[in-house]
């Protein structure tokens, strides 16, 4: 009997393991992601694939409609704005429910927004809340209270009662300082420090989503030693998590898959197309492609392999064959995917199972704008004339044609053209090697001794340009090498490329240990300031160390302008000045995001530049009577097709 006991336990453990690893029933929709979510806490989610999932697990006060990114009602069925543009009053819909059937209350929003404002919470987007009256002050108050607690802790061991008193003071500070009120369960009032044209867009960002207060609080405790809130994350696990969006996660096998099932209490559940969604994690890009091509998924959200350039060429060949039909359909206002879905299958050497979208992001390299470099050396790039010279010497079209080969749009500024309604088309510096040499000469550098390298008036050679890049992708190295050769040829300067892994690259970037460094940015919200604020003095993402009082004043003046059209015009003037005179960064191109999906089988993918895909509105098309090969769809190339 003693021998049977451990055997029985082993059998029970084996059965349990097998049952936990049992294949899930087929889902209505299957997508493949390159990475899994690190968390399902909306106040801490920050990566693009996480935010995409957050938008269907949680619902904010207002939503972004995927097709055109217009603001539409969410939990709030309506709202009003005061005459001075500073006070927003949201009225929550009566049938907004959590996945456990409880009503979504205004207090749930207040609780979640307070979490995001706390320095304890490690929220990447805390500063997005600082447009709210008193939010920044509250953040600083809490930080000061914690710092004071740490000082006292050196004198005597703090107790739990001390931490509780500290938290009580924090709660009082929130009530006294922050412009948020919840008069009743269905009314949520927010006061801003000044009018903010894109505040509703912010309210649609996932970190502004509510959380189920009671469920989260069960995993919160206070740490006596530091006074900080400790947040355990068991509340985000399937079976315990409570959501208010279109879906609820029911299975989460980390780095394998996540099953989303329709929230039976979601107020707009009748509009949700797929009842179940499988989100599968396949880190290897080649494996992801093979899985899609074998019929294992409806949508591969990020086509990673370098051979995607050849695949896109096959896509263009297919579209070119049907140019007439496609252009005729577009002229009638039809959706590009709907048109392509009705076309005959691809022939040999063609494909339609991928699509390249102009994304809401810009690829660039940063100039170190500080007066001195690491180690105290004088920095030639502190001079805007030098920065302009290096920008003018780069042939961006050649980079796109020969290096990236994704048919991206050349960028001379940061804000992607056409991505923000009402924002003017702004042009910066183009390719002009003659002017580039003149700019460098005006900064005091020319080849005085005929040795092939420019020198200053003292005969000192232009310092060897240090070009820093991340080794995370061959793209970054290839761009750095190509620009190095352009600068050597056009400006007669010496330059060397320095690749580092992502962690060390980011450390050098933050420390200013570079002269020129690879960069890039995707917009967080639909306003030019999501890019322009990167150049403000003291901005946390201003890795360039750029500072100019004129820019700060221009951005401040625009923030005080209440007329939307005038405000956008002021921001456009600011951007044009930045990229014709100052050049803190060197924009290269608008990013292209490549998806794999078959438009004859999947519908609902949005081609809007912000690519805010709504998983709840994706669905499979009715099977065609024609035999379809594996293929997919995209808007056509820049030459005119979708």
> Using one digit for the tens of pLDDT, what is the confidence trace for 9-26?
444 444 444 445 667 899
Length of the chain: 642
Mean pLDDT across 96-117: 98
Range of the domain at 146: 38-234
On whether both 462 and 576 belong to a single domain, the answer is yes
Which CATH number characterizes residue 402's domain?
A: 3.10.105.10
Which CATH number characterizes residue 58's domain?
A: 3.90.76.10
On whether both 110 and 190 belong to a single domain, the answer is yes
Q: Is the pLDDT of residue 634 over 50?
A: no
Question: What is the distance between the alpha carbons of residues 582 and 535, in angstroms, rounded to a whole number?
Answer: 11
Mean pLDDT across 165-181: 97
Q: What DSSP character marks residue 423?
A: P
Q: Is the pLDDT of residue 100 over 60?
A: yes
Q: What DSSP character marks residue 410?
A: B
Q: Is the pLDDT of residue 427 over 50?
A: yes
Look at residue 640 in the predicted model and tell me its pLDDT: 39
Q: CB–CB of 26/34 below 8 Å?
A: no
**Partners of 590 in the β-ladder:** 362
Average pLDDT score over the chain: 92
Position 8 in a domain:
no
Separation of first and last alpha carbons in the chain: 73
Question: What is the distance between the alpha carbons of residues 139 and 174, in angstroms, rounded to a whole number?
Answer: 9
- Closest by alpha carbon to 529, among 197, 204, 136? 197
Look at residue 629 in the predicted model and tell me its pLDDT: 42
Our count of domains for the chain comes to 3
Query: Residue 477 is inside which H or E element, if any?
Result: helix 474-491
On whether both 386 and 504 belong to a single domain, the answer is yes
Helix (H, G, I), strand (E, B) or coil at 588: strand
Question: What is the distance between the alpha carbons of residues 584 and 369, in angstroms, rounded to a whole number?
Answer: 7
On whether both 281 and 204 belong to a single domain, the answer is no
Final residue in a domain of this structure, among 234, 269, 292: 234
Query: Between β-strands 465-470 and 516-522, what pairing exists: parallel, antiparallel or unpaired?
Result: parallel
Which CATH number characterizes residue 263's domain?
A: 3.40.190.10
Helices (H) and strands (E) in the chain, counts: 19, 20
Position 242 in a domain:
no
- At 624, the pLDDT band (50, 70, 90 cuts) reads low
> Residues 617, 34, 285, CA angle at the centre, nearest 5°?
120
Look at residue 12 in the predicted model and tell me its pLDDT: 44
Question: What is the distance between the alpha carbons of residues 206 and 90, in angstroms, rounded to a whole number?
Answer: 17
Look at residue 21 in the predicted model and tell me its pLDDT: 61
- At 468, the pLDDT band (50, 70, 90 cuts) reads very high
**Partners of 147 in the β-ladder:** none
- At 622, the pLDDT band (50, 70, 90 cuts) reads confident
On whether both 217 and 269 belong to a single domain, the answer is no
Q: CB–CB of 173/232 below 8 Å?
A: no
Position 27 in a domain:
no
Look at residue 47 in the predicted model and tell me its pLDDT: 86
Q: Is the pLDDT of residue 626 over 70?
A: no
Answer left, alpha or beta for residue 507, where phi above 0 means left and psi between -120 and 50 means alpha: alpha
CB-count exposure of residue 327 (10 Å: 0-12, 13-18, 19+): middle
State both tokens at 87. Answer: 């006070």
Segment 558-610, tens digit of pLDDT: 999 989 999 999 999 999 999 999 999 999 999 999 999 999 999 999 999 89
Q: Is the pLDDT of residue 623 over 80?
A: no
On whether both 208 and 270 belong to a single domain, the answer is no
Look at residue 165 in the predicted model and tell me its pLDDT: 95
Position 447 in a domain:
yes
For residues 641 and 317, which has the higher predicted lDDT (pLDDT)?
317
Position 121 in a domain:
yes
- Closest by alpha carbon to 59, among 215, 268, 279? 268
pTM of the shown model: 0.86
Mean pLDDT across 204-223: 96
Share of the chain above pLDDT 70, in %: 93
DSSP annotation string for 115-180: HHH-GGG--TTGGGGGGBTTHHHHHHHHHHHHHHHHHHHTTS---HHHHHHHHHHHHHHHHHHS-E
- At 438, the pLDDT band (50, 70, 90 cuts) reads very high
CB atoms within 10 A of CB 634: 29
Position 137 in a domain:
yes
Look at residue 633 in the predicted model and tell me its pLDDT: 37
Look at residue 6 in the predicted model and tell me its pLDDT: 44
On whether both 219 and 77 belong to a single domain, the answer is yes
- At 472, the pLDDT band (50, 70, 90 cuts) reads confident
Q: Is the pLDDT of residue 99 over 60?
A: yes
Q: Is the pLDDT of residue 5 over 80?
A: no
Position 380 in a domain:
yes
Q: CB–CB of 470/500 below 8 Å?
A: yes
On whether both 116 and 230 belong to a single domain, the answer is yes
Question: What is the distance between the alpha carbons of residues 218 and 226, in angstroms, rounded to a whole number?
Answer: 20
Query: Of 139-153, 413-427, 621-635, where does mean pLDDT reach its minimum?
Result: 621-635
Final residue in a domain of this structure, among 234, 265, 294: 234
Q: Is the pLDDT of residue 465 over 90?
A: yes
- At 125, the pLDDT band (50, 70, 90 cuts) reads confident
On whether both 298 and 365 belong to a single domain, the answer is no
Q: CB–CB of 561/570 below 8 Å?
A: yes
- At 628, the pLDDT band (50, 70, 90 cuts) reads very low
On whether both 71 and 202 belong to a single domain, the answer is yes
Segment 369-406, tens digit of pLDDT: 999 998 899 999 999 999 999 999 999 999 999 999 99
- Closest by alpha carbon to 252, among 271, 278, 285, 290? 278
Mean pLDDT across 193-198: 93
- Closest by alpha carbon to 319, among 303, 334, 305, 339? 339
Query: Of 17-31, 51-65, 177-191, 628-642, where does mean pLDDT reach its minimum?
Result: 628-642
Query: Of 10-19, 99-108, 325-334, 402-411, where does mean pLDDT reach its minimum?
Result: 10-19
Position 627 in a domain:
no
Q: Is the pLDDT of residue 298 over 60?
A: yes
On whether both 345 and 377 belong to a single domain, the answer is no
On whether both 281 and 206 belong to a single domain, the answer is no
């Amino acid at each position: 009997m003693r021998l049977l006991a451990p055997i029985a336990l082993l059998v029970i453990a084996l059965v349990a393991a097998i049952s936990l690893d049992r294949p899930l029933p087929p889902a209505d929709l299957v997508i493949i992601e390159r990475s899994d979510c690190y968390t399902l806490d909306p106040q801490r989610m920050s990566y693009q694939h996480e935010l995409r999932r957050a938008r269907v697990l949680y619902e904010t006060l207002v939503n972004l409609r995927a097709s055109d990114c217009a603001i539409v009602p969410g939990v709030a069925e309506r709202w009003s704005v005061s005459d001075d543009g500073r006070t927003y009053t949201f009225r929550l819909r009566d049938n907004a429910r959590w996945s456990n059937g409880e009503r979504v209350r205004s207090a749930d929003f207040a609780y979640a927004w307070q979490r995001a404002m706390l320095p304890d919470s490690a929220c990447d987007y805390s500063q997005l809340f600082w447009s709210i009256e008193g939010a920044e002050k509250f953040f600083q108050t809490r930080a000061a209270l914690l710092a004071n607690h740490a000082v006292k802790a050196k004198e005597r061991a703090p107790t739990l009662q001390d931490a509780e008193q500290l938290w009580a003071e924090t709660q009082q500070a929130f009530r006294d300082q922050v412009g948020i009120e919840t008069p009743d369960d269905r009314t949520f009032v927010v006061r801003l420090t000044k009018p903010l044209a894109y505040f509703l867009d912010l309210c649609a960002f996932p970190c502004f989503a509510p959380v189920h207060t009671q469920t989260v609080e069960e995993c919160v405790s206070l740490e006596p030693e530091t006074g900080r809130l400790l947040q355990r994350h068991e509340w985000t696990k399937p079976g315990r998590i409570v959501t208010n969006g279109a879906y609820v996660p029911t299975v989460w096998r980390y780095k394998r898959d996540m099953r989303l099932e329709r929230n039976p209490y979601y107020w707009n559940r009748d509009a949700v197309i797929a009842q179940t969604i499988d989100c599968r994690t396949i880190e290897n890009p080649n494996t992801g492609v093979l899985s899609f091509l074998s019929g294992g998924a409806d949508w591969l959200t990020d086509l990673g392999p370098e051979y995607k350039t050849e695949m896109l060429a096959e896509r263009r060949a297919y579209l070119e064959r049907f140019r007439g039909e496609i252009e005729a359909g577009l002229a009638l206002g039809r959706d590009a995917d709907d048109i392509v879905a009705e076309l005959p299958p691809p022939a040999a050497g063609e494909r339609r199972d991928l699509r390249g979208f102009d994304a809401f992001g810009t690829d660039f390299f940063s100039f170190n704008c500080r007066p001195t470099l690491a180690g105290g050396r004088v920095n030639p790039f502190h001079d805007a004339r030098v920065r302009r010279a290096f920008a003018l010497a780069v042939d961006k079209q050649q980079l796109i044609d020969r290096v990236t080969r994704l048919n991206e749009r050349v960028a001379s500024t940061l804000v992607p053209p056409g991505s923000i309604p009402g924002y003017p088309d702004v042009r910066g510096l183009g390719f002009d090697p003659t002017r580039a040499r003149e700019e460098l000469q005006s900064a005091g550098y020319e080849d005085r001794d005929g040795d092939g390298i420019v020198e200053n008036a003292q005969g000192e050679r232009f310092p060897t340009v240090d070009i820093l890049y991340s080794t995370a992708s061959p793209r970054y190295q290839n761009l750095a090498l190509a620009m190095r050769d352009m600068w050597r040829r056009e400006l007669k300067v010496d330059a060397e490329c320095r690749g580092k892994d992502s962690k060390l690259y980011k450390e050098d970037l933050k420390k200013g240990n570079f002269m020129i460094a690879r960069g890039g940015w995707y917009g967080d919200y639909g306003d030019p300031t999501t890019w322009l604020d990167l150049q403000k003095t003291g901005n946390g993402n201003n890795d360039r160390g750029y500072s100019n009082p004129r820019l700060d004043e221009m951005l401040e003046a625009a923030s005080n302008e209440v007329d939307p059209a005038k405000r956008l015009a002021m921001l456009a003037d600011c951007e044009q000045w930045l990229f014709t005179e100052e050049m803190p960064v060197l924009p290269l191109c608008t990013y292209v995001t490549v998806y794999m999906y078959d438009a004859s089988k999947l519908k609902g993918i949005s081609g809007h530049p912000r690519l805010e895909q709504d998983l709840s509105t994706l669905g499979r098309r009715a099977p065609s009577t024609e035999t379809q090969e594996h293929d997919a769809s995209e808007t056509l190339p820049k030459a005119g097709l979708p």
